Amino acid sequence: MKTRDEALKKAGLLSEALPYMQRYDGRCIVIKYGGSAMTEGLRADSFAGDVALLRQSGVRPVIVHGGGPQIDRFLKERGIESRFHNGLRITGDEEIAAAEMVLAGAVNKAIVRQIAAVGGRALGLSGMDAGLIEAEPLDKNAETLGFVGRPRQVRADILHLLLEKGIVPVIAPIAADKKGQRRNINADVAASAIAAALKAARLLILTNVPAVRGEDGLPMPSLSLEKARALIKKGVIQEGMTPKVETCLEAVKKGVEAAVILDGRQPHALLLELFTDQGAGTLFHARRPPHQKMRTNP
Amino acid sequence: MKTRDEALKKAGLLSEALPYMQRYDGRCIVIKYGGSAMTEGLRADSFAGDVALLRQSGVRPVIVHGGGPQIDRFLKERGIESRFHNGLRITGDEEIAAAEMVLAGAVNKAIVRQIAAVGGRALGLSGMDAGLIEAEPLDKNAETLGFVGRPRQVRADILHLLLEKGIVPVIAPIAADKKGQRRNINADVAASAIAAALKAARLLILTNVPAVRGEDGLPMPSLSLEKARALIKKGVIQEGMTPKVETCLEAVKKGVEAAVILDGRQPHALLLELFTDQGAGTLFHARRPPHQKMRTNP
Amino acid sequence: MKTRDEALKKAGLLSEALPYMQRYDGRCIVIKYGGSAMTEGLRADSFAGDVALLRQSGVRPVIVHGGGPQIDRFLKERGIESRFHNGLRITGDEEIAAAEMVLAGAVNKAIVRQIAAVGGRALGLSGMDAGLIEAEPLDKNAETLGFVGRPRQVRADILHLLLEKGIVPVIAPIAADKKGQRRNINADVAASAIAAALKAARLLILTNVPAVRGEDGLPMPSLSLEKARALIKKGVIQEGMTPKVETCLEAVKKGVEAAVILDGRQPHALLLELFTDQGAGTLFHARRPPHQKMRTNP
Amino acid sequence: MKTRDEALKKAGLLSEALPYMQRYDGRCIVIKYGGSAMTEGLRADSFAGDVALLRQSGVRPVIVHGGGPQIDRFLKERGIESRFHNGLRITGDEEIAAAEMVLAGAVNKAIVRQIAAVGGRALGLSGMDAGLIEAEPLDKNAETLGFVGRPRQVRADILHLLLEKGIVPVIAPIAADKKGQRRNINADVAASAIAAALKAARLLILTNVPAVRGEDGLPMPSLSLEKARALIKKGVIQEGMTPKVETCLEAVKKGVEAAVILDGRQPHALLLELFTDQGAGTLFHARRPPHQKMRTNP
Amino acid sequence: MKTRDEALKKAGLLSEALPYMQRYDGRCIVIKYGGSAMTEGLRADSFAGDVALLRQSGVRPVIVHGGGPQIDRFLKERGIESRFHNGLRITGDEEIAAAEMVLAGAVNKAIVRQIAAVGGRALGLSGMDAGLIEAEPLDKNAETLGFVGRPRQVRADILHLLLEKGIVPVIAPIAADKKGQRRNINADVAASAIAAALKAARLLILTNVPAVRGEDGLPMPSLSLEKARALIKKGVIQEGMTPKVETCLEAVKKGVEAAVILDGRQPHALLLELFTDQGAGTLFHARRPPHQKMRTNP
Amino acid sequence: MKTRDEALKKAGLLSEALPYMQRYDGRCIVIKYGGSAMTEGLRADSFAGDVALLRQSGVRPVIVHGGGPQIDRFLKERGIESRFHNGLRITGDEEIAAAEMVLAGAVNKAIVRQIAAVGGRALGLSGMDAGLIEAEPLDKNAETLGFVGRPRQVRADILHLLLEKGIVPVIAPIAADKKGQRRNINADVAASAIAAALKAARLLILTNVPAVRGEDGLPMPSLSLEKARALIKKGVIQEGMTPKVETCLEAVKKGVEAAVILDGRQPHALLLELFTDQGAGTLFHARRPPHQKMRTNP
């Protein structure tokens, strides 16, 4: 009799997800899936299942992934030490070739396979494919950083084409500039640009750290652009978190409804954030929070 | 901390529904929703929510409703006593006018409103609308029964048109025959004919009785056409249940993947049946059960 | 030889209708079909045929019907007396339930059946179906009037979908407000709101009275908004007619090309109005009459 | 008061056309419009109006025209005498050039202009345009006849494309063979081949003679293939009529629902034939007459 | 061995055309093909092949043809002398009938046949077909010139419809005015109006004279609107050329990217102009030349 | 003056390509592009340009690439020696990971970039993306060979979707089997399966060896299935060539019109083969050679 009660409970819980599904029906959700988050095996399964469930529920998920630790390991196996400048990988010929193989080859296809394994349908792209992203050199420190780039333009028609057919785009943040030179792009920044081009309902940045904390040291469920800028100025938002927060603010400024930094180490973080009232991180919004939703501390 | 745990559990349970959603993705599910089931207020809410959730999950639900008790009450208020012959309402001028008003007016719009109340989009039709059902007199006992009919032809293009746009068709089983005469059709029979015309994945008949029971008196989770016929012959399937079972067999014979008689008094009976392994009634199938699914006793 | 001459004459007359058909080709015509007009049997047949002919000639007709006398009779049979305030039905629980059954059940389906009987294809809707009309309480006298409403918003996509497929929408003016409460809407007002949402070429209000009369007591074939307002002010337009005229003016103000109050007791009133130079009532237009058409007195 | 009565009568007659319009709704009607018929000015106006009315009523008319008298006149003005063999024009270089200019130039554009003058939209084509007709030499007497051809293949996609947009195709029966040589095709034969390619509901051959007469000398409203063949054998169908009748039989054999030889000198012959019970000529059908329609003698 | 080398060379040259094809991919190119150019047999073949190649390469070519010499000859054969006023044909009843037969009949169909002969698909239209061009009398000298007209309005939807299906429109510049009167339009002017309606990438006017020459007597590869106007004022652009140049300027002013007067006597003039760096005439552009392309003297 | 003459010659040669372009208009051409061919820098440029030109000419090219030498080098840099069994790479965990990174990462994106560099639009896929290829273990020697697979099923809808939008699919022959295990597939075999699924007009296998030679030691321009099988039996077709030839025969047997083994070391080999009479290799066809084309020795 126990399974029967469980089934009843399950059906009841399922039915509670309806208003959340309706809220995002037909809307794009861009998910930055970090290389660190990925390396914890169990989470990967839950991640792919969550993505497939979003798709099945009428949401249009787009994944942008990183792969820093995987590139580090790859280079190390070849006896090359990863070097960074202000948190950005110094990228020479060896590094850009490695980034391409690891990101567009290994990591990208692993995610595609994970989604297929749970019955979804995904297609892996780099920024070069179908001219999705045109890169340009990151303006300052170009000499120091080498082939590091940033998105100059996003041509999103291919994403709409795939989403229309129920296919989940999985994007490796490597693109060519006007001269055809490959350039490595920070995955958060790529995700933000893509979210802006799609006028997404959400940019979700999955990290392996807890939520942003306020002056009282407590996690903050949501923040307006203004307030977030104030906290950065005051130094309350810590150094490592600052560029992530700024990427979120940029996305919101460019028309994304809201951006969320959330702890990807939680199981089903995506469902928690989108399909329950709990939320799973810190949400950044323009003036008013979307849906006037009350968020409790994560 | 309790709500957080609950949210985590909820997300986990949600993710378990994915394979079930994928199984019915883009498929039509025809649901017979009986007048009795309807009269229990609470169930109605859960029913509408379940239908909207099915739609949101990529399923294409079509509802065919009855309204017997409501017609009885309506006639009684006018001092007319409902009369039946072999379980079918003897239908004269008064009765057919009452059936039309109650079914196509009150009950149909109540269901449409319930689905709208949970954020879905439904459109109520009778068999007359857009020429959906052409009726013919029920061949035997035509004199005794009056304006009782059965479907001669189903023109399902309007249903596909609506489903394509995410609109749930809600159908009152009253139709006109070739001469334009209104005719009352048994809702189970109408649902079966519509399911056949749509080559539906399931015909679900919601009743207010428990599952079909076998020779040992225990509920039977599934039955092949052959076995069901044998049990009817043997008299194991009881009298009141026989026409429902035969309607199910008819649907399966005409190309519906499987038909289920299920106890609509259970909360979330639809989700229980379609989105969990439990099932909620007795499933009738051709030779082999669909999806080789193991069903435990309800 | 007589039939041959008749056939020749008929062919000649048919050919004269061409420029009128071309004038309305692909345009929406919203027709308010009153409950009183309906009760005269013969007219109903001619009405359905005219609607089917319009459709067949490339016009896109949309019907909004009333049903006042039918509701009165229904309530009376239950021993309830109809009560009115300023011409609007005082609507309690009993009345709204009756209105729904009579309008969305009996009257709506009768019209659908009449159109089917002459070879057309119609689909009956209430304002609740597919979210066509969202109602709001009629602002003043809400306490006095009960569940009387007016359109707050029209979502016309379902109408275009049906018209595109050659299906004539037939609309019962009952809708739900934001809270899901059923509300009775005056059929003229509903027709006007729908005509505005469709940017219709014409709003035709079929009544059972002759045309609007001017200061000289003669029927007026056409009136500009300005002139009509002046006549209302002067009291020349009589009391009973005033709300109908104001509904017409409202429609024209919101983008309907012209609105006509016409005597539905004439046979083929719709064809007379649209497909001959005669016209059949009083036409209200913005500054200049459409098509500079010369109208003679009806 | 007289005009009012007339308008009422007109509306009534209009409404009688509905079942006929519905009968041909969305169906192709191929009309052979002869050069002789054309030369009577008044008829031309009525012809164009009838075609536009058919189009406006949901029918898909396609016109194939001849131009024999016009070619004769053209050649005569140049001092060339028209020569015939078995009723077919002996066609050398001069004649084919003349045929092209007269048919594809003068006659074709005159018809297009006439239809435009009554508010329709027509587009003139020759068999060469968009590869509509591929000709081949008329097998026997090729040496005698010169550049006379017959259709080897019809590529009808362009006609569907135009009809879909409400444009009436007007076709001059001149086409190129595989080698690019222009060839003159008998207009009846071209119309028959096009009707077969379109699986038309009717092939209407407008002539300037009365209906086919039977053994009793009386006009025959309809004939089965079998009976028509018997009458040709018996010599009852006169010599001049025989090829026209055979072209009709050919069309019916290839899938056209029925073919009619009708007297184009009557005003509104097309409407008379299609939109009244009278008919206007002799209808050829396969086994049973279409629509079981009772036809009286023209 | 020689053929092999040639094939290799051919393949290499082909591949050099790619950037030019890409430049005009999906863009409309309107080509005025003069009656004089046509009369040189060999050129006609090369012209049709070039048009078919443009189409096959993703370009959307539209041809507008003249036929002056052919009309002259036609009239002469009938003993009528062609008369001109300021370079425009004085057009009476005889002349307009001749123009229609020669342009819409002989010349139009000859071009259609030439394109078919090289495997392309073309459809010939006059300005009357599908209401493509509505003419109006040429304002000045209307009395002197008779039925000479100019485009009042272009309704280009039929052109897009044909181009979408890979069909090349071939247009004879004769159209009807509002009253249905046929009017002869200068082919350059018609081509310019059509190019403007299509927002074409190029208007190419094929002539039988060399390029426009500058003050130094040398051919000029390209000219801005301003500069061209200055040269006309100065009288450097010779009299015969002035109206052609003004037609080009008019097209550019109305949104055509550039207009070119080019010597159609060169073989493959179209390919030379569009698919090589050479160019084949004088290009008129707004402020800056399109594509910053360096043009050498023709 | 020299450049002018060259331009004229170029235009002439261009125009000769038209019939070849028309032959393949809208047809799929699957091109196997080998890893060896790729390593010769210059060829790569010419290859990408040829592909883009095919696309621009109305052909639908699909590229399947190998990458053997690149995988060898990659493994060698990690100190792993490539081992083969019957010409197939023995594929363990290290090898399959390497194959994925090199094929789906480095080589795939290099080709995409090359096509972008010449103005084309390409999108790189592996067999895993959008479920394009489902692999199964290569039946014999599964133990010896490890993760070597072959196509069990091709789901080509994604290819049609991309081709329809003018995007060239570039495919890395690595796919997952039913259990999600990555498997390396021989690129020739993958190309053959994809060509069969697309009912391609041609399968072109670019190699770095000259054409197949006959018994007389001379290159053979074309071979029927039968004759090819006879030559394999006789041992005339050499060992290294045999599997390639058999892959071609397989493709033709499954509905590809013809398959060609051609020497990819020639510049513009694709254009040579498809757009000239020369051909560039050995063509395998069913009974009769396609287009009855006369092929001279390469």
Side chain identity at residue A102, one-letter code: V
Residue of D nearest to C115 (CA): D18
**CATH for D35-292 (3.40.50.2020, 3.40.50.2000, 3.10.129.10, 3.40.1160.10):** 3.40.1160.10
| Beta-carbon pairs below 8 A across chains E and F | 117
Is F10–E13 a contact, with Cβ atoms under 8 angstroms apart?
Answer: yes
Is B56–A266 a contact, with Cβ atoms under 8 angstroms apart?
Answer: no
β-partners of residue E219 are: E213
Domain A24-292: which CATH class?
alpha beta
Least Cα distance to B50 among B269, B236, B284 occurs for B269
Is E3–F296 a contact, with Cβ atoms under 8 angstroms apart?
Answer: yes
Mutate one of E3, E13, E47, E168 to test the F interface: name it (highest F CB count within 10 A): E13
The residues spanned by each domain of chain E are 20-292
Residue of A nearest to B8 (CA): A272
Burial of E122 (0-12, 13-18, 19+ CB in 10 A): buried
Q: Token match 């086409």: residue?
A: D175
Confirm whether the ipTM is greater than 0.95. Answer: no
| Beta-carbon pairs below 8 A across chains C and D | 117
Is E275–F13 a contact, with Cβ atoms under 8 angstroms apart?
Answer: no
pLDDT, residue F1, reads 42
What percent of chain C has a predicted confidence (pLDDT) above 90?
Answer: 69
Nearest by CB to residue F123, choosing from A104, A106, A130, is A130
pLDDT, residue B225, reads 93
pLDDT, residue E270, reads 93
Is D14–C58 a contact, with Cβ atoms under 8 angstroms apart?
Answer: no
* 3 state SS of E54: helix
Chain C residues in contact with chain D using a Cβ-Cβ cutoff of 8 Å = 3-4, 7-19, 21-22, 25, 46, 49-50, 52-53, 56-58, 118-119, 266-268, 271-272, 275-278, 296, 298
d(CA E92, CA E89): 9
Is F122–A112 a contact, with Cβ atoms under 8 angstroms apart?
Answer: no
Q: Using a CB-CB distance cutoff of 8 angstroms, which residues of chain B are in contact with residue C176?
A: 113, 116
Tens-digit pLDDT profile for residues B48-91? 999 999 999 999 999 999 999 999 999 999 999 999 988 889 99
Is E7–F53 a contact, with Cβ atoms under 8 angstroms apart?
Answer: no
Mutate one of A65, A112, A158, A181 to test the F interface: name it (highest F CB count within 10 A): A112
Where does the pLDDT of residue A291 fall: very low under 50, low under 70, confident under 90, or very high at 90 and above? low
| Beta-carbon pairs below 8 A across chains A and B | 118
**CATH for F23-292 (3.40.50.80, 3.40.1160.10, 3.40.50.720, 1.10.10.10):** 3.40.1160.10
| Beta-carbon pairs below 8 A across chains D and E | 103
For residue B288, the distance in angstroms to the closest alpha carbon of chain C comes to: 39
Q: Using a CB-CB distance cutoff of 8 angstroms, which residues of chain B are in contact with residue C130?
A: 121-123, 162, 167
pLDDT, residue B295, reads 44
Q: Are D203 and D32 contacting, i.e. CB atoms less than 8 angstroms apart?
A: yes
d(CA E184, CA E190): 10
pLDDT, residue E293, reads 47
Is D267–C13 a contact, with Cβ atoms under 8 angstroms apart?
Answer: no
Residues 6+ apart with CB under 8 A from B192: B203, B247, B248, B250, B251, B254, B256, B259
Chain C residues in contact with chain B using a Cβ-Cβ cutoff of 8 Å = 77-78, 97, 100-106, 108-109, 112-113, 116-117, 121-126, 128-131, 157-158, 161-162, 165, 167, 174, 176, 180, 182
For residue D156, the distance in angstroms to the closest alpha carbon of chain E comes to: 13
Q: Token match 């007048």: residue?
A: B35
Kindly list the partner chains of chain B, i.e. chains with 3 or more CB atom pairs below 8 Å. Answer: A, C
Chain B residues in contact with chain C using a Cβ-Cβ cutoff of 8 Å = 77-78, 97, 100-106, 108-109, 112-113, 116-117, 121-126, 128-131, 157-158, 161-162, 165, 167, 174, 176, 180, 182
Residue C10 DSSP one-character state: H
Question: Is residue B127 over pLDDT 50?
Answer: yes
Is E123–D129 a contact, with Cβ atoms under 8 angstroms apart?
Answer: yes
Whether CATH 3.40.1160.10 fits E20-292: yes
CATH placement of domain C22-292: 3.40.1160.10
* 3 state SS of B260: strand
Residue of D nearest to E118 (CA): D180
pTM: 0.94
d(CA C152, CA F197): 54
Question: Is residue F11 over pLDDT 90?
Answer: no
Q: Distance from CA of residue D203 to its chain's centroid? A: 7
Where does the pLDDT of residue C35 fall: very low under 50, low under 70, confident under 90, or very high at 90 and above? confident
Question: Is residue A163 over pLDDT 90?
Answer: yes
Mutate one of C70, C74, C93, C109 to test the B interface: name it (highest B CB count within 10 A): C109
d(CA E122, CA B52): 52
Neighbour-count burial for E232-269, b at 16+ CB within 10 Å, e otherwise: beeebbeeebeebbbbbbbbbeeebbbbbbbbbebbbb
Is E130–D121 a contact, with Cβ atoms under 8 angstroms apart?
Answer: yes
DSSP secondary structure of C177-202: ETTS-EEEE-HHHHHHHHHHHTT-SE
Burial of B226 (0-12, 13-18, 19+ CB in 10 A): exposed
Burial of A267 (0-12, 13-18, 19+ CB in 10 A): middle
Q: Using a CB-CB distance cutoff of 8 angstroms, which residues of chain B are in contact with residue A3?
A: 278, 296
What percent of chain F has a predicted confidence (pLDDT) above 90?
Answer: 69
More confident residue, D294 or A53: A53
DSSP secondary structure of C112-140: HHHHHHTT--EEEEETTGGG-EEEEE-ST
pLDDT, residue C278, reads 77
Question: Is residue D42 over pLDDT 60?
Answer: no
Strands D28-33 and C258-263, by their bridges, are unpaired
Kindly list the partner chains of chain F, i.e. chains with 3 or more CB atom pairs below 8 Å. Answer: A, E
Q: Average the pLDDT over F95-101 and give the result.
A: 96
Tens-digit pLDDT profile for residues C132-168? 999 999 866 667 889 999 999 999 999 999 999 999 9
Q: Average the pLDDT over F55-67 and give the result.
A: 97
pLDDT, residue C173, reads 97
Question: Is residue B292 over pLDDT 80?
Answer: no
Where does the pLDDT of residue A67 fall: very low under 50, low under 70, confident under 90, or very high at 90 and above? very high
Mutate one of F2, F8, F10 to test the E interface: name it (highest E CB count within 10 A): F10
Least Cα distance to B189 among B125, B246, B137, B256 occurs for B246
Q: Distance from CA of residue D242 to its chain's centroid? A: 16
pLDDT, residue C3, reads 75
Q: Using a CB-CB distance cutoff of 8 angstroms, which residues of chain A are in contact with residue B267?
A: 8, 11-12
Q: Are E88 and E148 contacting, i.e. CB atoms less than 8 angstroms apart?
A: yes
Is A112–F100 a contact, with Cβ atoms under 8 angstroms apart?
Answer: no
Question: Is residue C56 over pLDDT 70?
Answer: yes
Q: Using a CB-CB distance cutoff of 8 angstroms, which residues of chain F are in contact with residue A176?
A: 113, 116
> Highest mean pLDDT: which of A225-239, B210-224, F124-138?
F124-138
Is C4–D278 a contact, with Cβ atoms under 8 angstroms apart?
Answer: yes
Q: Average the pLDDT over D113-122 and give the result.
A: 96
